[in-house]
Chain A
Amino acid sequence: MRKRSWLGLWLLLAASFLLSCLWGRYPLSLSDLWEILSGQAAGAMRETVFWNIRVARNCVAALCGAALSLAGFVYQGLFRNPLVSPDVLGVSGGASVGAICAILFFGGSMAASQAFSFAGGLLAVALSLLLARAIGGNRYFNLIISGIILGALANAAIMALKYMADPAQELAVIDYWLMGSFHLASWDKLRAIAPLILTAGAVLVLLRYRLKVLTLGDEEAASLGVAVGPVRLICVVCATVLTAASVSVSGIVSWVGLIVPHLVRTVLGDDFEANFFQSILCGAALLLLADTLARSLLPSEIPISILTSLIGAVCLAGFLIHRNRGERPC
């Protein structure tokens, strides 16, 4: 059973990737794909579509899906709450403020908005950690409350910046960014985020057992020999880097980080270490599929958060109804 579910997840990811490579406004067939891969003359247009548009975009989408889901999973473990999202410490709000500043004050060049949103996300989380320390008291509660405060501040800044923006041009760009999209994904973007995401992901993979013990609660984890403070800080930093890096290339992609770990736990069974890797695979596949739909459903591309929010809300309602009937598989 367990082997089969791993195989199923890998197949799901491979199938999503393949489907996503073929389907789109410029359809490719399996024989086109074979010609391209085997190096036969397939036509420059098809090769460009395949390598520089589809494959690059799919790699970015899959990597972001994996990163957001893993970040959500880690935060849910750290806060011992299955309904926490990667946003809990205000990373998306900070990243949005950064990206909007880049659009308004630096002409919205790709490199600038990427760098600014990444820095904005990290800054927001750093501030909410400092604020939590200043508040003191219960460590779960004060982190969540300071995340809410930072989120509110970021929201105020976003509204103020949108109010200042030129409605004809900049406002549309800002709104589009806030709804997320992979239409600007490229090999360059992949090169920019892959090292960050892979490094942060690798650290989390190494620390996954400490994180599991930490889900017993701070005091029990400490009594079992876990250095609670440092482990928690490293995990928060890594999860934040994962989120900020993916948001910096795609804009806000809502709900993936919340829903995927939940989906995995409910459908594949509660097992912390297995769920860790299942979230990564499942998140990559889900975002690939959502992105494929976003660029293929309508003649013009739909922002991806419209789809992920829709899927996420429906899934969450389904899980909660399912769970409260006491049918959770073990």
Chain B
Amino acid sequence: MKIIGFAALAVLIAGSAVAQQLAPSPTLDAVKARGHIECGVHLGLPGFSFANDKGEWSGLDVDYCKALAAAVLGDSTKVKYTPTSVQQRWPVLTSGQVDLLARNTTITFSRNATLGVNFQGINFYEGQTFVVRTKAKVAAVKDLADGTICVAAGSTEEKAAADWFRERNLKVTIINFQKNDDAISAYDQERCDAYTAGVGALAGQRIKFKDPAQHQILTEVISNDPQGPTTRWGDERWQLVVRWVLNAQIAAEALGVTSKNVDEMKKSTNAEVRRLLGVDGKFGDMMGISNDWAYNLIKQVGNYGESFERTVGMGSVLKLKRGQNELWTKGGLLFTPPFQ
């Protein structure tokens, strides 16, 4: 017994000595050994994760996976996507079949506290909003007062919309339909002024209308459903990498670093830019990945804004406005702690 005790003590001491430099990270070691990241994505959601005619994945969440691969392995193509259904997303993550989830999943307290998963930041502020006809001159949700809204009966959206207007003493007529599709087609046939759902869902829905240009999605939201990359409990160093890759995407936009100017920006005099791009400091080394991790991800995938515009924003068919997903300096909620 004593010998085992001494051996355990020795391992403990040796372990803590290493820990002062780098905490062990089985996930990161496994990623480097197998040479690709296993990313759990949505089965198919327009703008967020989908495969095109050639079978190539793209979307906002897929872009995050690519950025992570660029940061960790130096190559944004070294990702394998595991589409996950609603039912299997948590077990797939906690059983280790994927390294992380980057799939539209709302961050909530009870999930964080009970499912053995950690949320590493927010890459999309989802929330319930309204699609209206552009000719209706509706700029904010309160402008819908005295109007009509089509909803599916008994949905969470119906309740949230009714509550929102009641709390503000505004009158609104809510028309209930059996199914979502019925509510949508009623809106399309101008039987009501608005249809309500989450931002992401409405973006996909809007392009199904006969003339999408005649409809707009309000940027104001009446619910709070943030989404972001998710890891399982344990392996703090992997969590660190996942969290700061997202922060790097946001910081790059805030600092004006894009995929096009990233090479020039290496000569920047801004201290934070220099640290981010690995010119000064050893931020990559501290996480146990290459020091030009952020350079690689910006060069290959781009900053958050580039990614947003390309996948769901104005550069895509979805044409979503930034809204809450704008930088905190520009009136949005997107925020990153400093690279210091």
Q: Do A and B bind each other?
A: no
Q: Residues of B with Cβ closer than 8 Å to A?
A: none
